[in-house]
Amino acid sequence: RLTCFLTGATKYTDKDNGGMLVWSPYHSIPDAKLDEYIAIAKEKHGYNVEQALGMLFWHKHNIEKSLADLPNFTPFPDEWTVEDKVLFEQAFSFHGKSFHRIQQMLPDKTIASLVKYYYSWKKTRSRTSLMDRQARKLANRNNQGDSDDDVEEAHPMDGNDSDYDPKKEAKKEGNNEQPVQTSKIGLGRREYQSLQHRHHSQRSKCRPPKGMYLTQEDVIAVSCSPNAANTILRQLDMELISLKRQV
């Protein structure tokens, strides 16, 4: 844990928060010299910033003693937080394999640590990439929303349900039953009623005018041979002419 206090501003006690102080700034150390010490601890000995500052604080801000004591300890493995992983993925998307530029966004990580994490991340990127996972979630949500819109447009929920039932049709196909007429599949009630109306209207147009009728014998005679139809028509013409003469 990294806890910073300004000298003279507050007084640290264990009763304050129960943590252990690992670093406290010291006015006699120049910033340039402190940065040089941190760089040596990171690059040569694998320490992170918090561990290097903790070693310096342990030796009462004596840089020479801290540098001499760095090889005597093995630092804890470098932990990657969620923020570090997201920053690495963003930096990698910007700079590619330029690890020196990636390090500018992750100054606490060494080049060796970045390279090591890159290869472990590369092997399991499809499962561990946080950015790719979030992108896939957003893409799935968008695709699901589009598909729902398409379904609503194709099958509006206005009470005019289709006569086609997918479950029933699947059962019929599985049992090798007779196929359903394809002309009715996918048509709503309004469309099917309109087709029936058109069909009946055409049928009504084919009916003879009022007062005219067809006998079953004449229909059978007409269907027997084409000459019979002409004969019947001639007989009807003669009857019509005789009726006109009577009038």
pLDDT in tens, 1-24: 444 444 444 454 545 555 667 677
The token pair at 183 is: 């002309």
The number of domains in the chain is 4
| pTM more than 0.75 | no
Give residue 130's pLDDT: 67
Per the prediction, the chain carries an average pLDDT of: 72
Give the tens place of pLDDT for each residue, 211-236: 677 777 777 777 777 777 777 778 88
46 vs 183, which has greater pLDDT?
46
Residue 240 has pLDDT above 80, yes or no: yes
Residue 237 lies in a domain: yes
| Cβ contact 56:26 at 8 Å | no
- At residue 209's C-alpha, the angle toward residues 205 and 214, to 5°, is 100
Per-residue tokens: 146:
């589009």
| 169-151-191-167 Cα dihedral, nearest 10 degrees | 10
Q: Which residues have C-beta within 8 Å of that of residue 155, sequence separation ≥ 6?
A: 161, 162
- Do 138 and 105 sit in the same domain of this protein? yes
DSSP annotation string for 30-77: -HHHHHHHHHHHHHHH---HHHHHHHHHHTTT-HHHHHHHGGGS-PPP
Average pLDDT over residues 62-67: 91
Identify whether residues 99 and 146 lie together within a single domain.
yes
**Average pLDDT value for residue range 28-52:** 86
- What local confidence, expressed as pLDDT, does residue 220 receive? 77
Is residue 211 included in any domain, yes or no? no
Choosing from 41, 72, 103, the residue where a domain stops is 72
| 116 found inside a domain | yes
pLDDT of residue 21: 73
160: pLDDT strictly greater than 50: no
Residue 197 lies in a domain: yes
The yes-or-no verdict on residue 183 having pLDDT over 70 is: no
> Which pLDDT score, from 0 to 100, does residue 65 have?
92
For residues 102 and 128, state if they share a domain: yes
Whether residue 161 lies inside any domain: the answer is: no
Domain residues for 228? 216-246
CATH number at residue 83: 1.10.10
Contact call for residues 70 and 89 (beta carbons, < 8 A): no
Q: 65, 46 in Cβ contact below 8 A?
A: no
Euclidean distance between CA atoms 138 and 124, whole angstroms: 21
Q: What's residue 178's pLDDT?
A: 52
